[in-house]
Amino acid sequence: MTLEIHKIGGRIGAEVIGLDLAGPLAPETVAELNTALVAHKALFFRGQRLDDDGQTRFAEHFGPLTTAHPTVAALDGQPNVLAVDSTEGGRANHWHTDVTFVRTPPKASTLRSLVVPPYGGNTLIANTQTAYRDLPDALRELADRLWAVHTNDFDYAQGREPDAKEAERRAVFTSRTYRTAHPVVRVHPESGERGLFVGGFAQSIIGLPTHESHDLLRTLQAYVTRPENVVRWRWAEGDLVLFDNRATQHYAPDDYDGLPRLLHRVTVAGDVPVGVSGESSRVLEGDEAEHYTSV
């Protein structure tokens, strides 16, 4: 079949219409979806009739799956499914790329909505490759040579006192510390395009003092989150989003007044990021997270 794909924005995002993800997908359909994913970075599917098993089967079309998370427990009976539950402190209220604190972050992520607040609770996804192309020449040449340390152990509260659930979640999240050196500019393994590989887990630039390091990361991050590089998805129950974790960041604004919001996430195992020089990412602290990445 020929997929009906409609761009949502000029730089990122497309909605796929008329495809039932609960049924079997032909290999040529999967290939077309993967091509669209690389091109559009994020694909959106409205009104899907999926349960956890169905979401897992769909994600498996794009490669072996990771377990749910390196430190956070999976959903009972579903080792590949992570519950993103606002009532349990699951509010990803910062820009990030999934699990970049390990050496092999996911290739792609799927999010499926189960409980949607009546307002707010959208997900924003940014194109890190167009952000790279937006950089002035001198800054782009500098970024090509930089490496950043990504870690899961930093201050998520950002100057405010976390509530009890947030504090408990952070304790679990950091129960095993990971620090990984990644290139600031990642070469996409399928398209060969370059993209900024920073986000919330990138905490320092190797070789720079703390203050200058933070300033440079903020400067680069500002290009990622320019409005023209960002698509906003307003969830309805049953929606599924598939995004390329090698070329995007995402953000879920905490703007729904404490109302319940529940998504389930399943991620596809990825490869080791490679920089412009051809050098691969390396572990600084922790392990290879083999318990997280499928073999």
Q: Is 215 annotated in the active site?
A: no
Joined together, the tokens standing for residue 271 give 């490869």
How far apart CA 250 and CA 230 sit, in angstroms, is 9
Which one of the listed residues 40, 194, 250, 261 is annotated catalytic?
250
Phi, psi of 265 (to 5 degrees): -115, 135
Which one of the listed residues 85, 98, 134, 244 is annotated catalytic?
98
Tokens 């100057």, located at residue: 159
Tokens 């060969």, located at residue: 192
Q: Is 98 annotated in the active site?
A: yes
Any idea how long the chain is?
A: 295
Which one of the listed residues 96, 103, 194, 246 is annotated catalytic?
96
Q: Is 214 annotated in the active site?
A: no
Q: Is 231 helix (H, G, I), strand (E, B) or coil?
A: strand
The long-range contacts involving 33-36, CB below 8 angstroms and separated by at least 24 positions, are 33/3, 33/61, 33/62, 33/242, 34/62, 36/3, 36/5
CB atoms within 10 A of CB 2: 8
Phi, psi of 211 (to 5 degrees): -65, -50
How far apart CA 255 and CA 263 sit, in angstroms, is 16
Q: Is 96 annotated in the active site?
A: yes
Nearest to 124 by CA among 145, 144, 96, 87: 96
Active site amino acids:
96, 98, 250, 265
